[in-house]
Structure 1
Amino acid sequence: MKSFRADYVLPVCADPIKNGIITVDDHGKIISVTDDEASVAPDHPIEQVSGVIVPGFINTHCHTELSHMKDKIAAGGGLISFIKDILSFRAADTADVIAAAEAADKQMYDNGIVAVGDIANNSLTAQLKQKSKLYYHTFIEILGFLPDNAAELFEKALVTAEEFKSLSTSLTAHAPYSVSKELFKLIKQHSDAGSNLLSIHNQECEDENKFYRYKLGGFIDLYAHLGVDIGYFRPQARNSLQSIIPLLTNRQKVLLVHNTCTNLKDIYFIKRFDRKINWCFCPNANLYIEKRLPKIELFVNQGLNITLGTDSLASNSKLCILSEMKTLQQHFPSLTTDTLLQWGTINGARFLGIDDEKGTIEKGKTPGLNLLTGLDGFKLTPDTQVKKLV
């Protein structure tokens, strides 16, 4: 067993514990959480650490298979340009893709991440995830805006899911602008029939809403660039989010990712539907791609389950949930560390369905333990760092 005493323990599920002592077994399972040293076995040493202990972080949106694209795409070019670059750089030597993904997995582990909601378009990361120290749920992502090939693409995704074998997986749509209504219907049928978490890129740029409302903007140019005839598509007279929500299952949890251009009307629109919507912010990727952030204040105090993600190394300098939290606190000073910790721990665990094991510091759980240093009281600063304890 190991015991750690810190200046404070932030369990997330309870009030901060001053001079808190946490004891874990060799598997990281929490034996006790206390501020009473006398309750710890007298012959058991307690390691004193300076800082604040928090649970391991949950990264609900990542693309490890894109890790080989680090530093290859210039920042600030906007989503349309980013998509074109992703398509041009995606093809790479398999060994390079796997090596970069393995390095990304280690980076997340070292940065105190314990669980990942990871997007995959192929099975190259399957072996990595089988042996990883992290918990992975893999979202097999389906793309296809042409109605005629919906069935073929769906069957291909089922084959990819089989290659992940015993790992936790589900099938999901990529984004409104890249998935036809026919393909959305197939995913809904699959989701209605069994367990199938969904994770969908949502409103990453203004052009996405313009495309759905008026069939105008950058996505027209993108599909022309790709040689895809979207003559069948008609303007929906409402934005992308409001167009796809009726196509989603009401039996599964849905994670809407990025939400860069989501407004208050969208939030109220969703509340009128019987859908299990969760929200994920990836602020560093938003700044990298679009040079803007979502209107975070609109989401606070709405009773929403909000989570955090890193996106990929194609759109981020590192895979670190603490870095995402620091960015949010820098741009939105009203956000408390307590709120950000909930977003980066228990809320992500709830969405992934692993909150019985992860997300909070409680007896019997194996959440992982992170030590945060360089805080100003409980407030994150540019100097705040994370060290993985367990």
Structure 2
Amino acid sequence: MKSFRADYVFPVSADPIKNGVITVDDYGKIVSISTYAQPGVEVEQLSGIICPGFVNTHCHVELSHLQGKTPKGSGLVEFIKAVQSLRTVDDDIIQAAAAEADKQMYDNGIVAVGDISNSAHSIAIKKASKIYYHTFVEAFSFLPANADNAFQAAIELQKQFKPLSASVVPHAPYSVSKELFKLIKNYSDTHGNNLLSIHNQECEDENKFYRYKNGKFLELYDGFGIDISYFKPQARNSIQSVIPLLSNKQKVLLVHNTCTNLKDIYFVKRFDRNINWCFCPNANLHIEGRLPKIELFLDEGFNITLGTDSLASNDKLSILSEMATIHQKFPSIPIGKMLEWATINGARFLGIDDEIGTLEPGKTPGLNLITNLDGLKIIPDTQVKRLL
């Protein structure tokens, strides 16, 4: 066994313990948490906060080779164009970058990831990783006639990820037809563990497209040679249009939410859906140059999680960095609340909270040490070190 003492231990499942001591066995399983050491066990004295390992509920490992190659602040449509034009390179380049991204997340104290995949490039990395992965295999097609083929392609890719945990999900409101949504819903209604994730309201143009059928998405479809003459304005925001199309039998993760407003939140609350929200603030700044109105979500009773998005839209894959960005913009949100988002809430969504997410005897959540804080405030110099 080994023991660590720090200025504070944040179990997340209970109040912080000042000068707390946490003891683990040789397999990383927690034996005890208290203010005193186990008899005969040497205690390593540390400065900072000990907390559980982080959970990253939204990433695109297979896009890691695009780091530094997409324009900043150009908006979602230009970002999509850049990714589509740059993503196809030699498999060796993609897999080497993905392996490095996996190592970076591990070193940054991330123990579990909800990862988006549109190809098989990340399978070998995930099978060899020390990190737990659930893969969201995205289905794409905004053309009703292509719905069956797009769905079957996603099903076939999902099979390649087995026995790793994987599910079939819609990419985004602007890239999935109602016909494809229906196929995914029917599948989700009849298959036990098909966790859902969908990119949501990343820019104002997404809402404009759904409400009025105008904005930059028309340019995107035209550039890709996609005839969307069939699509009619919905007279409401994208989230209000697609929530009824999602299964009520599965947990749903709405990702980004950059332009989600209070009316959207209240609309979601009226539906019988198990909604979770994921914020990826650094990617929001990279793509749109703005953050979601996170304060609107705080008291609405939803499960909130954090993600990094990809290295195509982020400088690094660090949940601590996402917390620092939130803390800078929303200083009233305490570190304890953000640690919930970064640990147990993500574990609950992924269905692995019996093992990770909190510091409790019998669990193996991993241990992170957060240092260089200003009291209990995260500052730009704050760092994370993985203890276990």
> TM-score w.r.t. structure 1 length?
0.98
1:45 aligns with 2:42: yes
Task: Find the residue that maps to 2:15 and give its secondary structure.
Answer: coil
The CA deviation at 1:382 is: 1.5
The CA deviation at 1:80 is: 0.4
Correspondence for 1:301: 299
1:72 aligns with 2:69: yes
Structure 1 residue ranges without an equivalent (≥5): none
**Amino acid paired to 1:339:** K
Which deviates more from structure 2 when the two are superposed, residues 83-92 or residues 373-382? 373-382
Correspondence for 2:33: 33
Correspondence for 1:15: 15
The CA deviation at 1:297 is: 0.8
Correspondence for 2:281: 283
* Alignment of structure 1 residues 70-219 onto 2, 5 Å: 70-194=67-191, 195-219=193-217
Q: Partners of 2:295 and 2:132 in 1: how far apart?
A: 31
Say how many residue pairs are matched: 387
Q: Partners of 1:88 and 1:223 in 2: how far apart?
A: 15
Task: Find the residue that maps to 1:224 and give its secondary structure.
Answer: helix
Task: Find the residue that maps to 1:117 and give its secondary structure.
Answer: strand
1:61 aligns with 2:58: yes
The CA deviation at 1:41 is: 2.5
Q: 1:374 aligns with which of 360, 365, 372?
A: 372
Q: Which runs of 4+ in 1 moved over 6 A?
A: none
**Amino acid paired to 2:146:** N
1:94-145: per-residue Cα shift (whole Å, max 9, x none)? 0000000000000000000000000000111111111100000000011100
The CA deviation at 1:174 is: 0.3
**Amino acid paired to 1:222:** L
Q: Partners of 1:212 and 1:82 in 2: how far apart?
A: 20
Q: Partners of 1:168 and 1:178 in 2: how far apart?
A: 24
1:271 aligns with 2:269: yes
The CA deviation at 1:47 is: 1.1
Q: Partners of 2:162 and 2:301 in 1: how far apart?
A: 36
Q: Partners of 1:211 and 1:55 in 2: how far apart?
A: 41
Q: Partners of 1:27 and 1:99 in 2: how far apart?
A: 29
**Amino acid paired to 1:103:** E
Correspondence for 2:2: 2
Q: Partners of 1:94 and 1:342 in 2: how far apart?
A: 37
Structure 2 residue ranges without an equivalent (≥5): none
Q: 2:309 aligns with which of 308, 311, 315?
A: 311
What's the RMSD between the two structures over aligned residues?
0.7
**Amino acid paired to 1:65:** E
Q: Partners of 1:211 and 1:26 in 2: how far apart?
A: 55
* Alignment of structure 1 residues 284-363 onto 2, 5 Å: 284-363=282-361
Task: Find the residue that maps to 2:161 and give its secondary structure.
Answer: coil
The CA deviation at 1:8 is: 1.1
**Amino acid paired to 1:93:** D
Task: Find the residue that maps to 1:163 and give its secondary structure.
Answer: helix
Q: Partners of 1:164 and 1:273 in 2: how far apart?
A: 32
1:248-289: per-residue Cα shift (whole Å, max 9, x none)? 110100000000000000000011000000000000000000
1:120-179: per-residue Cα shift (whole Å, max 9, x none)? 001111111111000000000111000001001111111101111210000000000000
The CA deviation at 1:5 is: 1.0
**Amino acid paired to 1:88:** S
Q: Partners of 1:112 and 1:203 in 2: how far apart?
A: 29
Q: Partners of 1:104 and 1:52 in 2: how far apart?
A: 25
**Amino acid paired to 1:146:** L
> TM-score w.r.t. structure 2 length?
0.99
**Amino acid paired to 1:205:** C
